[in-house]
Structure 1
Amino acid sequence: MTVALYADYIADLRDIIAELDGHPERFQTYSLHVAVTAAGSLIVYETKRRRGQIDSIYYGRPAGAQSNRQVSQATAFAAIERFFGLGQFVALKAEAGSQDVGATGLAVQADYPYCAVNFTYRKKGQPDTRSMMMIFIGFNDDADAFSYAAMAGTASPLVSERPHRSERLFEWK
């Protein structure tokens, strides 16, 4: 089974999210929602700037907990950095008409960290807005990614060709 690898894409995404986190004044508008799940825990980093107003929330849910609780921006960003620091990534695809990504064949497994990113931004001075929405699975290296892809079999929910574009999930446009 062929699977598309995303380490290069994640490196670029990591840079732009780090720039937004450190220097939001460089962006005219933005909307960023990142959810990282790992070892049963969840961290969400949400921030938006529209018409000069900034609205942000950062929260998490520890493994086994029933409710979310607010966390600091630094804590949420550190979770994103840890995920982006992994060695290799694959992406899930969403088929038209499916209720969720898990319905496409391979159930979401708690053994692997996942990261959902919905990001739209326009930097100051740029004429166009960029946007992407993807779900990534992180691995230590290429071998782990290929092993996971082999488990998926022929009815794989993993992206096999880049750039990926579907109704629900897409790379930069």
Structure 2
Amino acid sequence: MTPALYADTIADLRPLFAELDGTPELFQTFDVHLELAAAGGVMVYETRRARGLTDSLYYGRSVKSGTNQQVSQATAFAAIDRFLALGQFLALSGKPAQDAVVDADYPHCAVRFAYRKKGHPKARSMRMVFIGFNDDADALAYAEKAKDSAAFVTGRPLKGDLAYEWM
């Protein structure tokens, strides 16, 4: 089966992430954890607001050192934003894979994003893992050479126990 492409979802997520980073006061509550694995390292952007209190943590880890190092909010945001600026994305389905489908040569990002804006009647949330590519051709070629195509989302919207699109 042909995997679903997610450039449209990321195109909606990127400005929302920038808005949360730049003007968090527009949000009543949020719980955001983005973990990007790329170029031999991991960058984590984590922030949450509940009951008027905000708690944030931004850190990176290289494969060489294996230790976490705190980074600035701007550094973590820039790394995640560069990933979100890629041209196309595949999403993992959340089903156990028979063989590894994540290749360290391609950036991938775990996204847990829940929020409620001030004045809005309900909260929204998403939990997915995306793999980034330059364009549609790269994404489809990657999925074609993967040994386990069930690991990729093939139908949208995805609503599973472990992974789901905006609810």
In the superposition, the TM-score normalised over structure 1's length comes to 0.93
**Partner residue in 1 for 2:102:** 108
Task: Give secondary structure in 2 for the equivalent of 1:166.
Answer: coil
User: In the superposition, relative to structure 1, how do residues 49 and 106 fare at CA in structure 2: closer, same or farther (>3 Å)?
Assistant: same
**Partner residue in 2 for 1:160:** 154
State whether structure 2 residue 114 is matched by structure 1 residue 123.
no
Question: What's the C-alpha RMSD, in Å, of the aligned pairs?
Answer: 1.2
Alpha-carbon distance in 1 for matches of 2:41, 2:149: 28
Paired residues, number: 167
Structure 2: segments with no counterpart, 5+ residues: none
Alpha-carbon distance in 2 for matches of 1:156, 1:39: 26
**Partner residue in 1 for 2:38:** 38
Task: Write out the 4+ residue segments of structure 1 that deviate beyond 6 Å after TM superposition.
Answer: none
Alpha-carbon distance in 1 for matches of 2:144, 2:101: 14
Identity %: 58
Q: Deviations over 1:4-44 (max 9, x none)?
A: 00001001001111100000000000000000010211000
User: In the superposition, relative to structure 1, how do residues 114 and 165 fare at CA in structure 2: closer, same or farther (>3 Å)?
Assistant: same
Aligned-pair distance for 1:65?
Answer: 1.5
Alpha-carbon distance in 1 for matches of 2:63, 2:148: 32
Task: Give secondary structure in 1 for the equivalent of 2:150.
Answer: coil
Alpha-carbon distance in 1 for matches of 2:29, 2:123: 9
